[in-house]
Amino acid sequence: MISLLPPPSERDDLAPDMQRAAHYIDAHLDDSLTIGEVAAAAGIAGRTLHKHFHDECGTSPMRYVRDCRFTQVRQALLLAGQRDSVTTIAFHWGFCHLGRFSVEYRKRYGETPSETLRRQRG
């Protein structure tokens, strides 16, 4: 099971470079992120970043980013307005291949994104 980093208010126990990486990811989650950008923001090499994420989260930095993005999509679908759509929400959070996105979403949450949206709207 993949564990996510603790919320920002509880990250004091993380190494400073992991705190910098997590803050950068949080601030740029809806941007196109690369390992190099996150590593540079953390002030460490890419390999070191991978090692720290594996040790702290049991996953790679980019898998962590993807997990965070799925969490944001889920929240957005649960709070969606009448004009919001699965497509616009998915695109906003960096998911461009809607078929793969939908399959992964269903694996994670046990329903399709459109089912979440429909259920939320009543």
Q: What is the pLDDT of residues 26-36, one digit of tens each?
A: 899 989 999 99
Give pLDDT tens digits for 76-111. Answer: 999 999 999 999 999 999 999 999 999 999 999 999
Q: Is residue 2 part of a domain?
A: no
Q: Is residue 40 within 8 Å of 28, Cβ to Cβ? A: no
Say if residue 55 is in the same domain as residue 26.
yes
pTM of the model: 0.85
Q: Is residue 49 part of a domain?
A: yes
What is the DSSP-derived secondary structure letter of residue 6?
P
Total structural domains in the chain? 2
- Domain of residue 83 covers 67-121
Kindly state the greatest CA–CA separation across the chain.
48
Say if residue 71 is in the same domain as residue 117.
yes
Say if residue 53 is in the same domain as residue 73.
no
Mean pLDDT of the chain: 88
Say if residue 60 is in the same domain as residue 101.
no
What is the DSSP-derived secondary structure letter of residue 8?
G
Q: Is residue 3 part of a domain?
A: no
